[in-house]
Amino acid sequence: MTMTLTNRQQQILDMIAAEQTTAQIAAALGVSVATVETHRRNLFRKAGVRSMAGLVKEAMRQGLIH
């Protein structure tokens, strides 16, 4: 089943895949670190994973990132 992401979740996923830190993502998007962490937790839940590596692997499998 393909994950359905909001535009912001896709944006954060792309930044995670580009190896940006939570602090870098927060600064670039003008949001708090806590907000990025919440989006990350939601991405983990949607992907059914428990780690960043699992998230990137699942996103690649689903064609959400390259």
Phi, psi of 20 (to 5 degrees): -80, 145
Structural domain boundaries enclosing 37: 7-61
- Encoded amino acid at 16, one letter: I
Whether 2 is covered by a domain: the verdict is no
Whether 18 is covered by a domain: the verdict is yes
- Per-residue model confidence (pLDDT) at position 1: 74
Q: State how far the Cα of 11 lies from the Cα of 64, in Å rounded to an integer.
A: 11
Read off the pLDDT band of 66 (50, 70, 90): confident
Give pTM, 2 decimals: 0.90
Question: Mind listing the pLDDT tens digit for each residue in 5-60?
Answer: 999 999 999 999 999 999 999 999 999 999 999 999 999 999 999 999 999 999 99
Domain containing 19 — which CATH number? 1.10.10.10
The 10 Å Cβ neighbour count of residue 39 is 22
Tally of structural domains, the chain: 1
Whether 25 is covered by a domain: the verdict is yes
